[in-house]
Amino acid sequence: MPEENKRIIEINGIKLEVDLATCRRIDEFRVGDNVKILIKKSEYQQEKLLNGVIVEFLNFKDAPIIQLAVFEQSYSGSSINFINYSANTTDMEIMACGKHELVLEKQKTVDQMQNEIDRKQHEVDDLRNKLNWFLKFYGKHFADAEKDETGDAR
């Protein structure tokens, strides 16, 4: 082993000398594991680091896929999107992260989503009130218009 490729690492109290030129990283993932997702820098955007959870492994014959639920937060609210990660994916990387890393984000996401639900519910209530007003008063307008044309109410 050339000296520049050697590194001593410790795994569970056992020290090993590893040749970095030939070693490989092996990650083990399970459904429900928390992951960090690095969206690589492109011509149109900067690098972005997202939080996610492994939803499903899809074992397609030619292109197995890891499906991820990705949580994005912005000033306007939170969203959950689903993305697929496979051997052909070149614009992102995933890595495992601890459960504690997402705990702080959970309540913020829940609060933002609840605020968005409340805002949308207010919009629904407002539209329902407008519809009720329209149905109540629009009919009177036609009844009055028909009465004026014929001289009597129908």
The amino acid sitting at 77 is: G
What's the pLDDT tens digit per position in 30-73? 888 888 888 888 778 788 888 888 898 888 888 888 899 887 77
Beta strands in 40-128 (DSSP E): 48-58, 65-74, 77-86, 92-96
Task: Note the pLDDT of residue 96.
Answer: 83
What's the structural domain count of the chain?
Answer: 1
Tell me the C-alpha distance between 54 and 82, whole Å. Answer: 10
Q: Which two tokens stand for residue 29?
A: 């993932």
Helix (H) or strand (E) holding 16: strand 14-19
pLDDT at 1 > cutoff 50: no
pLDDT averaged over every residue in the chain: 79
| 117 half-sphere exposure, CB direction, 13 A CA radius | 6
- Mention every residue, 6+ apart, whose C-beta is less than 8 A from residue 45: 39
Mean pLDDT within 131-135: 89
Confidence of residue 101 (pLDDT cuts 50, 70, 90): low
pLDDT at 124 > cutoff 90: yes
Higher pLDDT, 150 or 79: 79
pLDDT at 79 > cutoff 90: no
* Count of CB atoms situated within 10 Å of the CB of 54: 19
Higher pLDDT, 149 or 133: 133
**Domain of 11?**
3-150
pLDDT at 119 > cutoff 80: yes
The CA radius of gyration of the chain, in Å to the nearest whole number, is 29
Task: Note the pLDDT of residue 122.
Answer: 96
* Count of CB atoms situated within 10 Å of the CB of 72: 14
- CA-nearest of 39, 6, 37 to 23 is 6
